[in-house]
Structure 1
Amino acid sequence: MAMIRRAEAADIDAISAMIQPYIDDFAVDETGRAHFTQQNILNVLQMPDIEYFVYVETTHVVGVIAYQLPSHLVHFFVDQSHQHQGIGKKMWQFVEDKLRDEGMLEVTVNSSCYAGKIYQTFGFLPTQTVIEDRGIRFIPMKKTYLSTKTQN
């Protein structure tokens, strides 16, 4: 049975292992890679202004999504062996519903160049060209809502 639940410190091994294959999509040097050590991921998970969730199938974490309050996505990954099964869409819908229920009128993300097209399918648009900052290459993106009413 699949479910989305809050991430816990006990999930850190699975979360870290899931993120590792993607790091070279956005980290341009060791400074960037250092943001994604197991300890740094755990630090993010434990920050009071981060809402961090995992997608669990049976007992295995196969997806993560997290946002910094009020509405900036910081982590969004699906295990490579579970892609193209709708998991990312379900996680995004879960978080989007939470944000819309909280009255957010926009959501931002710093997308990897690879994931930009995926975010566009969710309604995000680039706000700038590719940026490199602190060892990370990304495209700033934003999804804006016209009202507080939930839209899909």
Structure 2
Amino acid sequence: MVIGDGVLTPAISVFSAVSGVELAMSKEHHKYVEVPIACIILIGLFALQHYGTHRVGFLFAPVVIIWLLCISTIGVYNIFRWNPHVYKALSPYYMYKFLKKTQRGGWMSWWDPVMYNRVGSYVCRSRHFSQLSIKIAFTSFVYPS
């Protein structure tokens, strides 16, 4: 299962990222472009893998930081533009009110944040990153985004 997850997760992630190319291309040219582009990206990533995670991370760190900054900016803009009262979600009162109203369904809706937290804890246990670097990255970039 671990090997299957290690193969399927990158493939699905890259394929879903590349599927956005379909929207940018004209209708007659996008039929068969997603799979070859995803394959090229995955082959390139796996070819770079032997250089070590520090070099691959060094290549992708600027892209990830720019991406997180962009979605953070878009999120803050949309909050102020469309619903400035969304800050109420941070209040424990509204959390209690939500859980009282939704009961079991409300608890089940917390699964995604718990999973992201678990991903962070698994990464912290890895030998590639220190616990402090993961805490700083998640606190300053990932969670706000």
TM-score normalised by structure 2 residue count = 0.33
Q: Which structure features the higher share of helix residues?
A: 2
Pick the structure with greater CA Rg. Answer: 2
More RCO (CA 8 Å, sep 6+): 1
TM-score, L = length of structure 1? 0.32
